[in-house]
Amino acid sequence: MSGASWSDSDKRYLRVACRLARRAAGRTSPNPIVGAVLVRGGRIVGTGFHRFAGGDHAEIVALKHAGPKARGATLYITLEPCNHYGRTPPCTQALIRAGIKEVVCGTRDPNPLVAGQGFRRLRRAGIKVRVGVLENDCRALIESFAKFITRRLPFVTLKLAATLDGKIAAANGDAHWISGEDSRQIVHRMRNAVDAVVVGVGTVKADDPQLTCRIPRGRNPWRIVLDSRLSIPLSARILRQVDPAKTIVATGTRVSAAKTRAIEALGAQVWPLPLKRGKVAWRPLLRKLAASGVVTVMIEGGAGIAASAVKEKIVDKIIFFYAPKILGGDGWAMIERLGIRRVKQSVPVKNLHAMNSGGDLMVTGYL
Q: Is 300 a catalytic residue?
A: no
Catalytic residue, candidates 59, 80, 135, 300: 59
- The type of residue at 83 is N
CB 325 within 8 A of CB 178: yes
Strand residues in 201-348 grouped as ranges (E): 222-226, 247-251, 269-272, 275-276, 279-280, 296-301, 317-323, 332-333
Helix (H, G, I), strand (E, B) or coil at 222: strand
Burial class (CB in 10 A: 0-12, 13-18, 19+), 274: exposed
Strand partners, 279: 276
Burial class (CB in 10 A: 0-12, 13-18, 19+), 151: exposed
Give DSSP secondary structure letters for 141-181: HTHHHHHHHHHSS-EEEEEEEEETTSEEE-TTS--TTSS-H
Cite the active site residues.
Answer: 59
